[in-house]
Amino acid sequence: MSGGETIIDASWLLGLSALGIYIHAVFLSITLGFPLVIIGLLLKYSKSGDEDYFKTAKIMTAVLAINFALGAVTGTLVEFGLVQAWPGTILAIASFAFAPLALELLAFANEIATLVLFIVTLGRIRTSYSIAILAVYWIFAALSGVLIMSVNSWLVAPWGTGPIAKAIYPFMPEFGGLAADAQKLVILKILAIASGMPIQAIIQNPEVAGKVGVILTDPYVAIFNPFAAISALHALFAAFSVGVSIALLAFSLRYYTGGEKRNLKAAKVASLVILVLFLIQPTILGHFMGEGVVEMNPTKFAMMENAKETFYNPMIALVAYGDPSRPIVGFDEFERQCNSLGDAELGDLAGQLGITMDAAIATAKQVGVKVGPEEIQNAWNTELRQICLADLKKAESRIAVVHAAYYTKIAFGVIGFVSAIALFAHFR
């Protein structure tokens, strides 16, 4: 009890929301992957006239329609969970995520229209027209993914914040020209330190967006983030691969249990699609994605490679930097760069931006953060080096989990790549 009110720990909602996101991702993968196989089946049907291909395409279309409905339902639940459970969602929607998500709604509406048109006209119009309609649907579905991934990419590389991050974390790059209100971002950091609250706890209040005001001056900054394109392509091709793999598994199981040649024919079509995807996604796109992470988020790359200390590995360096002689920069180098900040204080940075303690105190009152002049003064006098090192330690504490997850993903990618080649070779 606190002040007569019961405080309920709702942190478990974060895990539940994350689980919902992964479940939703399965439906998304089918939404993006199945059309590629259906198009392949319809192409084979138009060339050969074999009704088996058309029959399988119709069955897959029915599954796609049901999956789309379930995806819409789980997507709505995921959005509700994000707003309710994840701190800062409201502020994100009010700033960098607004334009991408608004445009994504338009793309989603066109997805619905073109999918319905494809379903009701399949078998009633020329096969080439059906293929064209489904291709348009698939383009809108992919566009939705690109727009959503632009929001995710901004969280990794907050383009438009210029030199703000680098001023506190010297190992970070400058994120383009300044399209953000630097004063407001630094004031929020001051309030987080002064109150001892994580910044997420401050910005989760829906009223913060209105009281703090406009943070980003360019609503499209997330879309034109240079990291967004490769991040979106890498994620989309992964989703294509998962969706096509699900179809391939279904065909294989049906052929194994029933022996219908129709399913074997469909599996051969899907095997070609999955081979093309695996030749592109983990190799070409994976390489450029790795380069993007190295440039935009060096701490994440160090966590992926378990680089507590800087080390040399020619193979990793060649993939990451294109130069086998370069070292894999570790947390020891990041700490050295943190210490290079010397005795500079947060108040020095605030002063350079024209921020006064009175302005910080006034903002605290506006957003409901209970701190007084003494706490603000203590935050003002906090060395940038201390902030840098403290946040670096938080990242380093998660290095084992990130490293294990990353190399587990790599291992499954290698298995999938080899399997795709072997299956295609077997069918040929």
- Rounded to 5 degrees, φ, ψ at 360 are -65, -40
Does 59 score more than 50 pLDDT?
Answer: yes
| Confidence tier at 389 by pLDDT (50, 70, 90) | very high
Predicted confidence (pLDDT) per residue in 218-252, tens digit: 889 999 999 999 999 999 999 999 999 999 999 99
Q: Determine which helix (DSSP H) or strand (DSSP E) holds 177, and give its type and residue range.
A: strand 175-178
Does 420 score more than 60 pLDDT?
Answer: yes
Give 126: exposed, middle or buried? Use CB within 10 Å, 0-12, 13-18, 19+. exposed
Q: What is the DSSP string of 136-159?
A: HHHHHHHHHHHHHHHHHHHHHS-T
Of 9-23, 52-66, 338-352, 381-395, the one with minimum mean pLDDT is 9-23
pLDDT of residue 217: 82
Q: Determine which helix (DSSP H) or strand (DSSP E) holds 189, and give its type and residue range.
A: helix 182-195
pLDDT of residue 268: 95
Q: How far is CA 150 from the centre of its chain?
A: 8
| Confidence tier at 184 by pLDDT (50, 70, 90) | confident
Rounded mean pLDDT of the chain?
89
pLDDT of residue 1: 41
Give the orientation angle of helix 51-85 with respect to helix 12-48, to 10 degrees.
160
Percent residues over pLDDT 90 in the chain: 62
Contact between residue 275 and residue 424 where contact means Cβ atoms under 8 Å apart:
yes
Task: Please tell me whether residue 322 adopts helix, strand or coil conformation.
Answer: coil
pTM of the model: 0.87
Does 275 score more than 90 pLDDT?
Answer: yes
Does 200 score more than 70 pLDDT?
Answer: no
What residues pair up with 180 in beta bridges, in sequence order? 216
Predicted confidence (pLDDT) per residue in 120-176, tens digit: 999 999 999 999 999 999 999 999 999 999 998 988 898 998 898 999 999 999 998
pLDDT of residue 371: 84
pLDDT of residue 209: 62
Measure Cα distances from 107 to 14, 26, 151, 195, 418 in Å: 28, 20, 15, 42, 35
Closest CA to 150 of 95, 227, 87: 227
Predicted confidence (pLDDT) per residue in 276-288, tens digit: 999 999 889 988 9
| Confidence tier at 204 by pLDDT (50, 70, 90) | low
Does 75 score more than 90 pLDDT?
Answer: no
